[in-house]
């Protein structure tokens, strides 16, 4: 029996806008896994905002070192 691997829709965290293909993702703002990821077929609209937020956090972390 062969199972076809279905492509899962991406989900967006309702708190930090981090998108993930996982069922439960990791919220960058709350710093723990959350179940408040919403399925979103139009996730590309939030991609730039999420990337900007993650880049800002990376810059802050690099500056702190």
12-30 per-position pLDDT tens digit:
666 666 665 555 555 656 5
Percentage of residues in the chain having pLDDT higher than 90: 5
In this structure, is the dihedral angle defined by the CA atoms of residues 45, 48, 54 and 57, taken in order, positive or negative?
Answer: negative
pTM: 0.33
Domain boundaries, the chain: 11-64
Pairwise CA distance, residues 27 & 57, whole Å: 13
Give the pLDDT of residue 30. Answer: 58
Give the pLDDT of residue 42. Answer: 45
């Amino acid at each position: 029996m062969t199972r076809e691997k279905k492509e899962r829709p991406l989900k967006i965290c309702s708190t930090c806008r981090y998108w993930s293909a996982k069922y439960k993702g990791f919220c960058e703002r709350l710093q723990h896994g959350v179940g408040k990821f919403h399925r979103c077929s139009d996730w590309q609209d939030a991609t730039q905002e999420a990337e900007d937020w993650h880049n800002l956090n990376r810059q802050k972390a690099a500056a702190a070192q």
